[in-house]
Amino acid sequence: MTDRITLVLNGSPVALPPDTSPTTTLLDWLRGPAGLCGTKEGCAEGDCGACTVVLEGPDGGRAPVNACLVLLGQVHGCAVRTVEGLRGPDGAPHPVQRALAEADATQCGFCTPGIAMAAWAHAREGGSVHEALAGNLCRCTGYRPIIEAFAGLEDDGAAPPSLPPVGGATFAAGGQVFHRPASLAELLALRAAHPEALLLAGGTDLGLLVSEGRQRPPAVIHLATVPELGAIAADAGGITLGAAVPYARLLPLLDGSLAPLAGLLARLGSRQIRALGTVGGNLGTASPIGDMLPPLLVLGATLRIASVRGERESGVEDVLLGYRKTTLAPDEVIVSIRLPRPPDGAVLACEKLSRRHDQDISAVGGAFLLRVAGGRVAEARLAFGGLGPMAARARHAEAMLTGALLAPACFADAAEELAQDVAPLSDWRGSAAYRLAAAQGLLRRLYWRVAKPGLPAEVHAL
Amino acid sequence: MNVISDKLHVENNKWIGTRTIRPDGADKVTGRACYAADNVMPGMIWGKVLRSPHAHARIRSIDTSKAEALPGVKAVVTARDIVDFPLDKSVMLGIQDMRWMCRNVMAREKALFHGHPVAAVAAINEEVAAEACRLIEVDYEVLPHVIEIEDAIRPDAPILHDFLTFEDKPSNIAGRMEAKLGDVEAGFAQADVIVERTFRTRPVHQGYIEPQACTVSYAADGRATIWSSSQGQFMVRAMTSLLTGVPQSNIKAIPAEIGGGFGAKTIIYLEPVALLLSKKSGRPVKMVMTRDEVMRATGPTSGSLSTVRIGARRDGTIVAAQGTFYLQAGCLPGSPLRGPVGCSFAPYEIPNVLSVGYDVVSNRSKVAAYRAPGAPLGAYATESVLDELAGKLGIDPLELRLKNSAKPGSKAAYGATFGKVTFEETIEAIRTHEHYRAPLDKTPRPGVKRGRGVASGFWYNAGGESSAQVNITEDGNVLVTTGHPDVGGSRASIANVTAELLGIEHGRVSVQIGDTSSIGFSNLTGGSRVTFASAMVVTQSTEKVITQLRERAARIWKIDPEAVTWENGEARPAGPNAGQFPPLTLTELAAKANEMGGPIGAGVQLNTTGADPGFATHVVDVEVDVDLGIIRVLRYTAAQDVGRALHPSYVEGQIQGGVVQGIGWALSEEYLYDRQGRLDNASFLDYRMPVCSDVPMIEPVMLEIPNPKHPQGVRGVGEAPIVPPLAAIANAVHDALGIRFTSLPMSPPKVVEALEGA
Ligand SMILES: Cc1cc2nc3c(=O)[nH]c(=O)nc-3n(C[C@H](O)[C@H](O)[C@H](O)COP(=O)(O)OP(=O)(O)OC[C@H]3O[C@@H](n4cnc5c(N)ncnc54)[C@H](O)[C@@H]3O)c2cc1C
Ligand code: FES
Ligand code: FES
């Protein structure tokens, strides 16, 4: 027995034929069977944004996503809007589209459908224009006319789609199975039964297998419909975050003492990536340059991990095992992450070094939590990514800094000591020497962050 | 002779110079515009290329039998199916040598880079085609490879082509180009100060967002139709004809909307292969490159190794300049030597110049044109040295440029004697600009330094063959057809010109790009020539149409055509002596066309001339994070002589887009190879083109100094903007840090390393 994938496409319900491969990318389906070629493919890897479409939430929210990374099984029960669906009923272009045309924000026009969709989402969601546009490459215009058009956009006030909630489902076609478990128990049972299946959260790492790698995974277990993994709640002590909650839902809760983490998160990928990507996925991938890992390490985040055998709680440090390796057993799933707020009076700094400000993979990431008392560093927690096979605390540098005077020289000493902690690799993102030197730069910079809190929050902010 | 229209100095134009909504704008913002990959045909199948897994290997044999036997496979082609151009005889198509093109489209004797096509398959879907590619057995003899220029020119380097010799020895140096003026050594002898430095740049990709794509249908009668994304449907026709042996008259090349090219789509990769697959299979074949294929196997622009030496008297007079430019051609000859050799010193009046370029092959994909091909890397070297020279002489860098700028009558080393020169105007525009005069706080925060830099640039610009047809429809509207794919808004400019000349509402003019069977030969969209050349042929066509309209009115009124004028979209009697008649509008004349002499319309085909060179001067402020090596561009102002901006937004767009590409080149973009000679960063995720937050709002300063040789005064604008940024940014970084970067990109690792060494 297989369920059918249903979705609302440009306002109209669609049920896909039962033989549809559930791991077809949304982009391939739109441009192929759906006959909607307005959405473009520039890279099939989530970086150019030419394939941007919008997921319309029942609450009116608009999430731009890269159709090249999204699998059909993922959008079951979702409302998808493409550039073709932006036109008014009379066929006239939407005001957002008119604004782009009038600003001469299109030259070759290949990026334009994706930019129109990003614009339509931005008109409702607001936020900074740079942030809204970071996921859309344009090679022709130099961006200026696009930025000008974005600055004047207004929400069209269109009503949200009515989306009947869909329960769990299983899509089977052509030798592939795509599970959407509806409860934690169901998820854990499936996981135990199919340890070889791909565990899919947002798919911004896994989607590349299908999109760019052209693979056809035989079994997928999708996490987004499990209530425990999709819940998020903030309290005075911190945030409890379901492992499958997309970054975009976490971002607005990162206020007060967690604001520096928001500054970093706003640079993780692009809006499109943050609409799908999850902290659970960042942990699951366990890349040494996963941006979330250093902050989780210094904040002392704990993970709730479950399997049919029971539950356990674990610190992030105990889960990271090596280069893209975790201690998760094949039947285990991360359910949620507890993100404590920094203790009162502590300073949190989150850094990311990359060639581009936005939409880039880090060469080096760093997170620092410092408590200062009486002109001295009372406690220092320092964690880095990109300086070894996995993100890790820098214990030697921490020891050097703990108890030290709040003075540039002491931070410089800690920076020297950092060489004891790390064993960076050389690759084209940066040589080992550069990575170490840059990380040391971040530590020296930390002095100014603490001593002069007025400094711009990001290293390359104006 | 080109007509010089009296419209040239007319002020108060109604359409020319206004920001009308571009004709293709609505289709582009609504997703309706049809790009090559959007084309679908009944019965269509999918083509896929098998590529070499080695950087350098002799192909001993290819066995395609297993692939052919796979169900769903409809055709397989290898180099044997492509027309061979023997190595001993050059056959040129424009600047492309078909000996190299045939080997670039499909490896023949050897696979010359990782990603070089060795065979192609057409099958019922992409999966089967990919599977069939895996079943093709290629017997390779792996050879040592060479990637970098320094290694390729060493005496013991692996030789790519045994038929290439340099100074009578087998060599990877495929050619040499020289531009010379006076006697450099005698010139340097007169110099009080000489600066010499060596610079390196890496290949960078054009980075168009639309991958190459085409659909080709070869019919049983031997006629082929090609839909593809290119910078010239006539180039597609000619090159496909040469490589497949199908006569040009049997090929119709239809230009799809093009999703960016920046020069790279002036050559083809897929079309001949798809045609042969279609011919063998009897089905239309579609081929679309992946981003990986685009990065790995379509041409970036050359990397370079340049040494520039400039000598001046103490008063700042430059007396001699010498440049030696080694350019990476990729695996087959054909670097854009003309760029650095000719452009580097052209903005300056220098009595003694020796500028030499070498074309160096190595195991990389063959380079393709990229916006002002080769000129930016030359200007990077020259304009950096000038900056240093200005420092040594204690002269303001803009003063030094002004003092030595080319003037009317100056002779450039590449051979031209300049007529009108508008270089000084661009320098003055920057010197008097608020940006240049604004104070710059050089140490705004701890760990951060700022600097300001200037640089100039030159590009030849081009005329060449263009065709246009202007037809009046029966209902009195206007249809203009030209033969150039529109990459940057040329349809918008042409609509403005036509509406202006005819004196009608802009909305009544439609502009389309004709296919090769519906419009006369038109050369490539490239060389900054399209607006220049097509405005010229459209102007002449429209003037002919106006003559016809006057004749029709004269016939109706039974007066002499000379006694009829055309004003504001109407024919009127020319003065009281001509008679008293109510004016006849375009619509009225169109309605009566058939009874009064037949359809109204005219076409012009011309080899256009008079495209004078373009000059640009830029100023930029940068900020360097000295702990982290991050460089940010804070402010950027670009002055350029644009002749006449037919549609200002698209002129600004060219300047802004070109500068941002230059910023990427200077700071973050580069081709990186691993030890096996494989490109390491063949994706947008890893090849770092600027996103919006990496660049400031580029401020263009358009100097409208009409080109007297063009009816509207147009001068090419598309390429000059990418010439100065590399040096301007490097000069600004020098101003901030006192460190001169002689190697691009100035990526954070390189900056940190330089700061540690300083
Ligand atoms: C264009 C682009 C830009 C990017 N930019 C960044 C960036 O700036 N910084 C950065 O850190 N990353 C970046 N990434 C990588 C990716 O977005 C992040 O790692 C993201 O956090 C992955 O989350 P996801 O939910 O999409 O993971 P998925 O792809 O769904 O899963 C990733 C892995 O985690 C496992 N997993 C997921 N959830 C769980 C769970 N609950 N329990 C156990 N295992 C689980 C999966 O099985 C899989 O192995 C980028 C990716 C793209 C395509
Ligand atoms: S196609 Fe480039 S992001 Fe999807
Ligand atoms: S308009 Fe060409 S890529 Fe944006």
CA distance A170 to A179: 5
| Pairing verdict, β B478-482 and B509-513 | parallel
A455 vs chain B: nearest CA distance in angstroms?
Answer: 8
Asked if the structure places residue B654 within a domain, the reply is: yes
Q: What is the A50 CA–ligand 2 centroid distance (Å)?
A: 5
On the 0-12 / 13-18 / 19+ scale of CB atoms within 10 A, A151 is exposed
Residues A146 and A9 in one domain: yes
Residues A331 and A362 in one domain: no
B461 alpha carbon, distance to own chain's centre: 11
Residues A320 and A382 in one domain: no
Please judge whether A142 and B656 are an interchain contact, meaning their C-beta atoms are less than 8 angstroms apart: yes
Question: Is A210 an 8 Å CB contact of chain B?
Answer: no
Q: Among the atoms of ligand 2, which is closest to the Cα of residue A44?
A: 1
Residues B628 and B674 in one domain: yes
Percent residues over pLDDT 70 in chain A: 98
Asked if the structure places residue A153 within a domain, the reply is: yes
Give residue B8's pLDDT: 41
Question: Is A118 an 8 Å CB contact of chain B?
Answer: no
CA distance A406 to A375: 6
Give residue B152's pLDDT: 98
Summary count for chain A: helices (H), strands (E): 17, 20
Picking from B178, B174, B336, B216, the residue whose alpha carbon sits closest to that of residue B266 is: B336
Please judge whether A48 and B209 are an interchain contact, meaning their C-beta atoms are less than 8 angstroms apart: yes
Question: Is A442 an 8 Å CB contact of chain B?
Answer: yes
Asked if the structure places residue B353 within a domain, the reply is: no
CATH number at residue A327: 3.30.465.10
Q: Is A48 in the pocket of ligand 2 (CB under 6 A)?
A: yes
Residues A219 and A325 in one domain: yes
The rounded mean pLDDT for chain A is 94
**Could you tell me the pLDDT band of residue B578, with boundaries at 50, 70 and 90?**
confident
Q: What residue type is assigned to position B367 of the chain?
A: V
What does the pLDDT average to over B487-504? 94
* Confidence check: pLDDT of A456 > 70: no
Who contacts B60 (Cβ-Cβ below 8 Å, separation ≥6)? B139, B140, B141
Give residue A210's pLDDT: 87
Q: Where does a domain end: B566, B582, B608?
A: B608
Asked if the structure places residue B394 within a domain, the reply is: no
Q: What is the A259 CA–ligand 2 centroid distance (Å)?
A: 30
What's the pLDDT tens digit per position in B703-752?
Answer: 999 999 999 999 999 999 999 999 999 999 999 999 999 999 999 999 99
| Pairing verdict, β A346-353 and A364-373 | antiparallel
Q: Where does a domain end: B577, B608, B639?
A: B608
What does the pLDDT average to over B387-394? 98
Lowest mean per-residue pLDDT among A75-84, A446-455, B588-597, B669-678: A446-455
A326 vs chain B: nearest CA distance in angstroms?
Answer: 25
* Confidence check: pLDDT of A7 > 50: yes
Give residue A457's pLDDT: 47
Residues A386 and A425 in one domain: yes
Alpha helices in B313-457 (DSSP H): 338-343, 375-393, 397-404, 423-431, 434-437
**Could you tell me the pLDDT band of residue B596, with boundaries at 50, 70 and 90?**
confident
DSSP secondary structure letter of residue B245: -
| Pairing verdict, β B285-288 and B45-51 | parallel
Please judge whether B130 and A214 are an interchain contact, meaning their C-beta atoms are less than 8 angstroms apart: yes
Lowest mean per-residue pLDDT among A80-94, B113-127, B236-250: A80-94
What's the pLDDT tens digit per position in B194-252?
Answer: 999 999 999 999 999 999 999 999 999 999 999 999 999 999 999 999 999 999 999 99
Q: What residue type is assigned to position B471 of the chain?
A: N
Residue of chain B minimizing CA distance to A101: B25
Q: Where does a domain end: B608, B639, B673?
A: B608
* Confidence check: pLDDT of A460 > 50: no
Residues A246 and A130 in one domain: no
What's the pLDDT tens digit per position in A192-246?
Answer: 999 999 999 999 999 888 888 888 999 999 999 999 999 999 999 999 999 999 9
Which one of B291, B668, B753 has the shortest CB-CB distance to A434? B753
Q: What is the A141 CA–ligand 3 centroid distance (Å)?
A: 6
Residues B567 and B678 in one domain: no
Count how many pairs of residues, chain A against chain B, have C-beta atoms within 8 Å.
254
Residues A351 and A332 in one domain: no
Give residue B3's pLDDT: 32
What does the pLDDT average to over B174-183? 97
CA distance A277 to A268: 9
CATH number at residue A412: 3.30.390.50
Who contacts A381 (Cβ-Cβ below 8 Å, separation ≥6)? A297, A298, A300, A368, A369, A370, A393, A398
What does the pLDDT average to over B465-469? 97
Who contacts B199 (Cβ-Cβ below 8 Å, separation ≥6)? B304, B305, B306, B307, B308, B377, B380, B381, B384, B742, B743, B744
What does the pLDDT average to over B436-462? 95
Residue of chain B minimizing CA distance to A408: B446
Asked if the structure places residue A157 within a domain, the reply is: yes
What's the pLDDT tens digit per position in A385-439?
Answer: 999 999 999 999 999 999 999 999 999 999 999 999 999 988 877 889 999 999 9
CA distance B76 to B84: 18
What does the pLDDT average to over A345-358? 91
Q: How far is CA B1 from CA B540, B571, B607, B715, in A?
A: 12, 28, 10, 18
**Which mutation among A40, A47, A83, A138 tests ligand 3's pocket best, with the greatest number of atoms within 8 A of CB?**
A138
Q: Among the atoms of ligand 2, which is closest to the Cα of residue B209?
A: 2
Residues A195 and A335 in one domain: yes
Give residue A426's pLDDT: 84
Give residue B9's pLDDT: 40
CA distance A18 to A28: 17
Total number of domains constituting chain B: 2
Total number of domains constituting chain A: 3
Please judge whether A104 and B657 are an interchain contact, meaning their C-beta atoms are less than 8 angstroms apart: no
A452 vs chain B: nearest CA distance in angstroms?
Answer: 10
What's the pLDDT tens digit per position in A199-214?
Answer: 999 999 998 888 888 8
Q: Where does a domain end: A341, A375, A390?
A: A341
Enumerate residues 475 to 514 of chain B having a beta carbon within 8 A of any beta carbon in chain A.
487-489
* Confidence check: pLDDT of B10 > 70: no
Range of the domain at A18: 1-162
Please judge whether A93 and B30 are an interchain contact, meaning their C-beta atoms are less than 8 angstroms apart: yes
A236 vs chain B: nearest CA distance in angstroms?
Answer: 34
CA distance A50 to A54: 12
Q: Among the atoms of ligand 3, which is closest to the Cα of residue B210?
A: 3
Range of the domain at B624: 1-8+420-460+612-758
The rounded mean pLDDT for chain B is 95
Which one of A145, A361, A462 has the shortest CB-CB distance to B653? A145
Q: What is the A104 CA–ligand 2 centroid distance (Å)?
A: 23
* Confidence check: pLDDT of B263 > 70: yes
Summary count for chain B: helices (H), strands (E): 20, 30
**Which mutation among A43, A111, A117, A138 tests ligand 2's pocket best, with the greatest number of atoms within 8 A of CB?**
A43
Enumerate residues 26 to 45 of chain A having a beta carbon within 8 A of any beta carbon in chain B.
31, 36-45
Question: DSSP states of B557-618 as a string?
Answer: HTS-GGGEEEETTEEEESSGGG-----EEHHHHHHTTTTTTS--EEEEEEEE-----EEEEE
Give me the residue label for tokens 């100039």. Answer: B456
Q: Among the atoms of ligand 2, which is closest to the Cα of residue B684?
A: 2
Percent residues over pLDDT 90 in chain B: 94
Supply the pTM of this predicted model. Answer: 0.96
* Confidence check: pLDDT of A454 > 80: no
Q: Where does a domain end: A133, A162, A191?
A: A162
A23 vs chain B: nearest CA distance in angstroms?
Answer: 14
3-state secondary structure of B639: strand
